[in-house]
């Protein structure tokens, strides 16, 4: 008798639960990748062209005779040193001023002292790694690094705004040793 009652209750619960409203099957959301990527690519190309025009104007205004690399980094050695060239894994010691195209000085080794970094390995702007390899010990140079090779979309979260071109006035004081 108890078994029959338990079976009846279970059967009733099963029947009641199946009587509710039918759930609709949801269709998967289909996202057209190009709807999102194409406008971003277009905006990025516009920003890149605008930045290139700003750099060209800065170079022309300052009468710089600069060399441009394939990545858009520009450099001009205005005082030649007589030492060896900097290479990957060299530890270099530099004095520098970093400013924006509008002349705002962001950082200077005059306040912090000369700094060293390992070429192609330390956490400095990739454009600086690239340009320093064109220099020799004792060289002084102006290096212009476009935002995509400098601090990019975020800036440095302190003094360099997002999407900023940076200008280094740099003196390669020494090449200490290979790491």
CB 117 within 8 A of CB 124: yes
44-103 tens-digit pLDDT: 889 999 999 999 999 999 999 999 999 999 999 999 999 999 999 999 999 999 999 999
Q: Taken in order 58, 128, 99, 170, is the CA torsion positive or negative?
A: negative
pTM over 0.85: no
Cα distances (Å, whole numbers) of residue 18 to 11, 15, 21, 81: 11, 5, 8, 87
14-50 tens-digit pLDDT: 666 666 666 667 777 777 777 777 888 888 889 999 9
What is the rounded distance in angstroms from the CA atom of residue 27 to the CA atom of residue 22? 15
How many other CB atoms are there within 10 angstroms of residue 115's CB atom?
15
113-141 tens-digit pLDDT: 999 999 999 888 999 999 999 999 999 99
What is the rounded distance in angstroms from the CA atom of residue 12 to the CA atom of residue 75? 83
Strands 105-108 and 90-100, by their bridges, are antiparallel
User: Which one has a higher pLDDT value, 128 or 176?
Assistant: 128
Q: Domains in the chain, please, with CATH?
A: 66-178 (3.10.50.40)
CB 107 within 8 A of CB 170: no
Q: Taking all residues of the chain, what is their mean pLDDT, rounded to a whole number?
A: 88
Helix (H, G, I), strand (E, B) or coil at 86: coil
Q: Give pLDDT, residue 146.
A: 97
Q: Give pLDDT, residue 148.
A: 93
* Strand partners of residue 88: none
* Strand partners of residue 118: 91
């Amino acid at each position: 008798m108890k078994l029959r009652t338990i079976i009846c209750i279970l059967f009733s619960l099963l029947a009641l639960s199946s009587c509710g409203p039918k759930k609709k099957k949801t269709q998967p959301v289909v996202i057209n990748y190009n709807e999102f990527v194409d406008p971003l690519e277009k905006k990025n190309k516009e920003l890149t062209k605008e930045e290139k025009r700003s750099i060209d104007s800065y170079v022309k205004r300052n009468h710089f005779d600069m060399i441009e690399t394939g990545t858009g980094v520009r450099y001009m050695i205005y005082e030649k040193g007589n030492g060896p060239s900097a290479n990957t894994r060299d530890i270099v010691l530099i004095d520098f001023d970093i400013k924006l195209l509008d002349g705002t000085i962001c950082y200077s080794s005059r306040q912090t002292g000369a700094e060293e970094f390992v070429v192609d390995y330390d956490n400095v702007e990739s454009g600086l790694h690239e340009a320093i390899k064109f220099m020799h010990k004792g060289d002084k140079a102006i290096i212009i690094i476009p935002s995509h090779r400098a601090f990019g979309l975020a800036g440095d979260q302190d003094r360099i705004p997002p999407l900023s071109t940076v200008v280094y006035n740099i003196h390669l004081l020494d090449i200490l040793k290979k790491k």
